[in-house]
């Protein structure tokens, strides 16, 4: 069955959240999986594990509680957000593999720009080495967040929810954005965790271009029938 790609443009987060939940609640065994691609106006989203102390100074940026896993993160213009709405029962794998597949897609996008991404055990998402001198203490063996964050910056955040065997929420890849709002929180619950984007890493690409590469990589990883994928503009 084809996975349908739906570019959404600039979409209010609360609207996207409500639509994801409604789509997941209404879908049946015959509903095709969908991949939504968008950007959000500035917003902090708090996961189910979120703690108030990780919000340092939100200012005028709204905070939206959500039912995804993880803690607090920031979304804003210049960041590509992908929401894979996947029937895991039909796909034949569990949420841990879904996380792995999404991360593989992000790693492939980074590799297409000649960047090496890294996983950190226990801290979902993808990280890259920061430019010198910030990367001098980076560990070659990324065992735990405490050991591995030195010299790394987070470039993609990931959080999911599974309801009745179907996933929603997804991954946010930083392209060329104002990173200052990340300094007002402990990103993903880690105090002082650096956050970076493709532009800071020397990649000058538009969000549309990155969204295309990310959607293609996700389709390769997530489609049940990997030979085909549909697109609705």
Measured CA to CA, the distance from residue 45 to residue 71 in angstroms comes to 8
Q: What is the CATH number of the domain that holds 98?
A: 3.30.930.10
Instruction: Please choose, from the candidates 106, 83, 72, 104, the residue with its C-alpha nearest in 3D space to the C-alpha of residue 181.
Output: 72
Q: Is the pLDDT of residue 187 over 80?
A: yes
Q: How far is CA 43 from CA 4, 151, 211, 220, in A?
A: 26, 27, 20, 30
Q: Of 60-69, 133-142, 216-225, which range is least confident?
A: 133-142
Q: Which of 38, 188, 201, 207 is catalytic?
A: 188
How many domains does the chain divide into? 1
* 188 has catalytic annotation: yes
Q: Which domain holds residue 193?
A: 4-231
pLDDT digits over 51-63, tens only?
999 999 999 999 9
Q: Are 70 and 159 in contact (CB under 8 A)?
A: yes
pLDDT digits over 71-94, tens only?
999 999 999 999 999 999 999 999
pTM summary value: 0.90
């Amino acid at each position: 069955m084809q996975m349908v790609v739906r570019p959404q443009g600039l979409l209010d987060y609360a609207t996207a959240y409500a639509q994801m939940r409604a789509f997941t609640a209404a879908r049946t065994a015959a509903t095709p999986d969908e991949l939504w691609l968008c950007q959000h106006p500035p917003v902090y989203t708090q996961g189910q594990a979120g703690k108030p102390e990780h919000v340092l100074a939100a200012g005028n940026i709204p905070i939206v509680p959500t039912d995804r896993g993880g803690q607090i993160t920031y979304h804003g213009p210049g960041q590509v957000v992908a929401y894979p709405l996947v029937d895991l029962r039909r796909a034949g794998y569990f949420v841990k593999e879904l996380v792995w597949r999404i991360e593989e897609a992000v790693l492939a996008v980074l590799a297409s720009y000649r960047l090496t991404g890294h996983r950190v055990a226990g801290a979902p998402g993808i990280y890259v080495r920061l430019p010198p001198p910030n990367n001098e203490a980076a560990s070659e063996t990324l065992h735990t967040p405490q050991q591995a964050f030195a010299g790394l910056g987070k470039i993609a955040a990931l959080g999911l929810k599974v309801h009745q065997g179907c996933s929603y929420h997804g991954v946010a890849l930083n392209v060329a954005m104002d990173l200052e709002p990340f300094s007002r929180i402990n990103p993903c619950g880690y105090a002082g965790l650096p956050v970076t984007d493709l532009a800071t890493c020397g990649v000058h690409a538009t969000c549309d271009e990155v969204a295309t590469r990310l959607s293609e990589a996700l389709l390769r990883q997530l489609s049940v029938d990997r030979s085909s994928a549909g697109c609705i503009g």
